[in-house]
């Protein structure tokens, strides 16, 4: 696992750094003014992620890395759309799959996008496991595909999470393994599931009752294994069903992907534990780990985004009111 983050106002410097990573692309600033830019890399061997952001409109061109499935995804839309081969790119479109077509990308100022590179063997092996027989190398000559709405938000979230996770210290193999597992077992399958083709059949179970059963069994497994690093593969194997059926069943029933639902379950369980904690009996870190959050900073961030306060605030209020004896008052406050 390699991580790299560089900020520089000289595109030549970023260009040379990208060449060391296997990219032979050229970068050209199209607007006057200083251009502080950022390059970030997360490299797990078989899967690599590259994120770029420029302060001025910038043109990127050149060949794609060989023997890799390559695509770009917009992480955060901006008023001026990027342009690919002279055409405006919709934010809900994956682009770059054609290996014969060179990169020809105009990034507007402040546009945040990520390139995903997957070894061809791993990509097609995972596609076969997902039952994506509608995908084949010849189809990639189209170069661009729409993102399926059920996968779009969660795909971006997982990409941002992979970049956001703290850099592992030398010898910290556990942290590196978590990011590698995230990219291989969650991000890659979701990327493949997100690709819409003219002959894409999403393979939902035959009836609504079957889909409700799939989500119910999955929810039970999530509740029983909150502390475990569950993946999509764990869920669809245990139910059992296909990965795509699981994704689309959750989209139909809850309007979100299974892993997002799992995160909400973990957050709710953590909030319940924090709210009912007895004074001096636990800490935010202990509860976060018990509810499946390996990173304390990541837990605090998503907790605040969802509940509007830091987990330490919830715990402090609980302990001030004597934990279990103040449970009713805490419940009234949270309501």
What CATH number corresponds to the domain at position 7?
Answer: 2.60.120
Degrees to nearest 5, angle at CA 170 with 168 and 172? 55
Predicted confidence (pLDDT) per residue in 47-83, tens digit: 999 999 999 999 999 999 899 999 999 998 888 899 9
* pLDDT at residue 93, rounded to an integer: 94
Asked whether residue 110 carries a pLDDT value surpassing 70, the answer given is: yes
Residue 329: predicted pLDDT: 45
Q: Reply yes or no on whether the pLDDT at 331 is more than 90.
A: no
| Spatial separation of the C-alpha atoms in residues 250 and 180, rounded to whole Å | 25
Check residue 56 and give its pLDDT.
93
Of 155 and 20, the structure prediction assigns the larger pLDDT to 155
Give me the pLDDT at residue 206, please: 54
Q: pLDDT tens, 269-303?
A: 888 888 887 777 788 889 888 888 888 888 888 88
The first and second tokens of residue 28, run together, are 């050209």
CA dist., res. 45 & res. 31, Å (int): 35
Q: Does 147 map to a domain? A: yes
Q: What's the CATH number where 299 sits?
A: 1.10.10.60
Percent of the chain with pLDDT over 90: 29
Q: Would you say residue 165 has pLDDT above 80?
A: no
Select the more confidently predicted residue: 88 or 321.
88
Look at residue 327 in the predicted model and tell me its pLDDT: 42
Q: Specify the higher pLDDT residue, 226 or 114.
A: 114
Tokens, residue 246: 């699981």
Which pTM does this prediction carry? 0.65
Question: Which of 141, 162, 194 delimits the end of a domain?
Answer: 194
- The Cα–Cα gap between 289 and 248 comes to 29
26 plus 160 within the same structural domain: yes
33 and 176, same structural domain? yes
| One domain for residues 79 and 108 | yes
pLDDT at 321 over 70: no
Which residue range is the domain that position 98 belongs to? 2-194
39 sits in which H/E element: strand 37-43
- For residue 200, being part of any structural domain is answered with no
My answer on whether 289 and 223 are in the same domain is no
122 & 243 share domain: no
Please write the tens of the pLDDT for every residue from 175-217.
667 778 888 888 998 899 889 887 664 444 456 777 888 888 8
Residue 201 located in a structural domain: no
Asked, for residue 50, whether it belongs to a domain, the answer is yes
Average pLDDT over residues 22-41: 90
Mean pLDDT, range 122-130, rounded to an integer: 87
311 vs 332: CA distance, rounded Å? 17
Asked, for residue 262, whether it belongs to a domain, the answer is no
- At residue 166, the pLDDT reads 53
Is 85:137 a contact under the CB 8 Å cutoff? no
Residue 152 has a pLDDT of 86
Per-residue pLDDT for 230 more than 50? Answer: yes
pLDDT at 275: 81
Cα–Cα distance measured from residue 304 to residue 270, given in angstroms and rounded to the nearest whole number: 12
More confident residue, 114 or 240: 114
Looking at the structure, tell me whether residues 80 and 164 fall in a common domain. Answer: yes
HSE toward the beta carbon, residue 71, CA cutoff 13 A: 28
Domain count, the chain: 3
């Amino acid at each position: 696992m390699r991580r790299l983050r560089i900020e520089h106002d000289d595109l030549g410097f970023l260009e040379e750094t990208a060449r060391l990573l296997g990219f032979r692309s050229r970068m050209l600033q199209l607007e006057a003014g200083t251009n502080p830019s950022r390059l970030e890399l997360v490299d797990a061997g078989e899967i690599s992620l590259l994120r770029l952001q420029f302060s001025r409109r910038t043109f990127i061109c050149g060949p794609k890395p060989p023997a890799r499935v390559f695509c770009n995804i917009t992480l955060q839309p901006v008023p001026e759309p990027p342009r690919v081969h002279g055409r405006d790119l919709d934010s809900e479109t994956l682009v770059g799959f054609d290996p014969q077509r060179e990169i020809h990308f105009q990034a507007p100022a402040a546009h945040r996008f990520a390139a995903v590179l997957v070894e061809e063997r791993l990509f097609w092996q995972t596609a076969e496991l997902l039952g994506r027989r509608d995908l084949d190398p010849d189809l990639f000559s189209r170069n661009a595909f729409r993102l399926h709405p059920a996968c779009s938000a969660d795909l971006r979230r997982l990409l941002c999470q992979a970049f956001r996770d703290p850099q592992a210290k030398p010898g910290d193999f556990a942290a590196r393994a978590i990011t590698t597992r995230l990219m291989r077992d969650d991000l890659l399958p979701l990327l493949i599931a997100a690709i819409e083709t003219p002959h894409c059949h999403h393979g939902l179970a035959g009836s609504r009752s079957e889909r409700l059963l799939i989500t119910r069994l999955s929810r039970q497994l999530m509740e029983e294994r909150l502390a475990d690093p569950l993946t999509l593969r764990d869920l669809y194997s245990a139910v059992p069903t296909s990965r795509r059926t699981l994704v689309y069943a959750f989209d139909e029933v809850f309007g979100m992907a299974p892993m997002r639902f799992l995160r909400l379950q973990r957050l709710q369980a953590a909030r319940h534990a924090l709210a009912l904690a007895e004074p001096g009996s636990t800490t935010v870190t202990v509860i976060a780990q018990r509810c499946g959050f390996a990173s304390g900073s990541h837990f605090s961030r998503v907790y605040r985004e969802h509940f509007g306060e830091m987990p330490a605030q919830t715990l402090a209020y609980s302990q001030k009111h004597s934990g279990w004896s103040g449970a009713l008052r805490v419940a009234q406050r949270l309501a």
